[in-house]
Amino acid sequence: MARIFVTRRLPGDALERLREAHELEIRDADTPIGREELIAGARRSEVVICALTDRIDAGVLHPGLKVVANYAVGVDNIDLAAAREAGVVVTNTPDVLTDATADLAFALLLAAARRLPEAERFLRAGRWEGFRASALLGRRVAGAHLGVVGAGRIGQAVLSRGKGFGMELSYWSREPKDPARVSGATHRPLDELLERCDFVSLNVALTPETRHLLDARRLERMKPGAVLVNTSRGPVVDEAALARVLAEGPLFAAGLDVYEEEPRVHPALLELENVVLIPHLGSATDVCREAMVELCVDGVEAVLAGREPANRVI
């Protein structure tokens, strides 16, 4: 029997599978856990099931810890080198959130392109006085040029959705992909993609190499009138520079689900009409979130039974 610490309430009933054979402690809150509470919970446990807001580093890891199951696909919240040194298995939740996140990326693309939040605010404020041919003009999506930065599972799914809209497709990744996996999209250098594409979707993992991948220089080189969508991780974009190019050009609009210092949003972004801001909802469907818990539980059960987990990161 192992002691398992879960850092927050999670949807569905998959965790109850663990209670049948192990001692399960679930923190009774769905808010970020404090640092001291996280350390204390981890230190009395052999398993930690954590969320993307929980920083798992050498201060949390200890010799008796066997597995950290991350309730997210990205693992930038975990010090993987420290986990490897401590002999702790790390798992994540790949695949099950691909479609939900790609759907949201395309929803943000459409909302930003057609100025939907701005239009709704306009109507709710009682400012609509009838049809005007020049009111709230947006950007054409069908047939436009979509560029995806990061052609992993989610990036490929975004390209597939773009294909359904008859868009010209390009992507950037470190290595070209099989054309069938990227809906026949063209592999381009990142700067060229940014200069050519009407819509750019960010779908890279956060690593030291991708932090501020879109810095001031690259943002300023984007195609005039382009729309930027970010459903990956906030620090991939320099938010201060993004606010500036939204206010002064060249960008037409942006759709953001993630932020550099979550839950804080850069004040300059909050003042702009031409950016759609939502609170990190990429995987937020009932089916997806419950499937993520299932994957966490699958990985934990495998490690505790001495089997290789299918969703192992290290």
pLDDT digits (tens, 9 = 90+) for 267-313: 999 999 999 999 999 999 999 999 999 999 999 999 999 999 999 99
**62 in active site:** no
By the 8 A CB rule, do 15 and 8 touch? no
Q: State the pLDDT confidence band at 108, using cuts at 50, 70 and 90.
A: very high
Q: Which pLDDT value is given to residue 201? A: 99
Q: What confidence score (pLDDT) does residue 137 get?
A: 98
Q: Encode pLDDT of 79-89 as tens digits.
A: 999 999 999 99
The three-state secondary structure class of 279 is coil
DSSP 8-55: S--SSSTTHHHHTTSEEEE-S-SSPPPHHHHHHHHHT-SEEEEETTS-
pTM of the shown model: 0.96
- Does residue 150 contact residue 203 with C-beta atoms inside 8 Å? yes
pLDDT digits (tens, 9 = 90+) for 20-64: 999 999 999 999 999 999 999 999 999 999 999 999 999 999 999
3-class SS of residue 303 = helix
Which of these is catalytic: 192, 262, 290, 301?
262
The residue from 280, 290, 294, 301 that is catalytic is 280
216: pLDDT confidence band, cut at 50, 70 and 90?
very high
Does 280 participate in catalysis according to the annotation? Answer: yes
Active-site residue identified among 8, 22, 161, 233: 233
Query: Is the Cβ–Cβ distance between 185 and 167 less than 8 Å?
Result: no
Long-range contacts of 272-280 (CB under 8 A, 24+ apart): 272/243, 272/246, 272/247, 273/118, 274/112, 274/115, 274/118, 274/246, 275/112, 275/246, 276/108, 276/111, 276/112, 276/116, 276/117, 278/108
